Amino acid sequence: MTLKPVFAAAVSLLTCLSANAASADLSGYTLSYDDTTSFTAVDFTFGDGTNEGFGWNVANTVGVVSAGQGLLTATFALPSFTITAKPGFTLSGITGSLGNLVFNEVGTGASTSASAAGNVAINGLPAGVFGGALLKNTTFSAGTYNSGYYARQGTMGTPSYDSLRFSGGLLTLTASAGAGQFASVIGNDQNTLSFSVVPTAVPEPETFALMLAGLVAVGTLARRRQG
């Protein structure tokens, strides 16, 4: 089983972004982010008419390998970012996806693990934890050799908001292998880290006033016809 994209959406490269850029402009919101992590600049955006998101390809430097060295742990900072609704829009929910990080385990007792989590704050309120352990999917197993991938998609339901801040995110990989054993978890640029939210257009006050006036006119006409 392979990890499917979070959304069936058209993906377009952000050609307007330079290597040092730390912002992006989407149709329903603006994005500012930290481009100093291993993930550097945003690689793509996507949308399906309801959800709108962005993401990074996983750098080849993201990984951990233990060749008989016991338990090794590697930790990588995830990009912090802030999403701000554009005028006339409100936002809701957040979905994150990370995969597929390939693992290999050779030898009895060899093992691996992967987790990714960070803090999400809505409209400046106290943050809550978003993420957790990635799911381990074994695609091949023979004797003491196992291989597959780690991936996870998670959604946090939230009421409508104007801004969202993701910070303190960490990807933690472990590989444990004793003498004569081997264990690894390795990412590559075909793997992706992505986030999306739902932007909803909100009628301007003038639009509400026109709607109200229209309802009043319809009600008045209906009463006249009844009279």
Residues of the chain with pLDDT under 70: 1-21, 204-227
Cis peptide before 123 (omega within 30 of 0): no
Write out the two tokens for 104.
């290999």
What does pTM read for this prediction?
0.81
pLDDT in tens, 28-69: 999 999 999 999 999 999 999 899 999 999 999 999 999 999
What SS3 class is residue 21?
coil
CA distance 103 to 126: 35
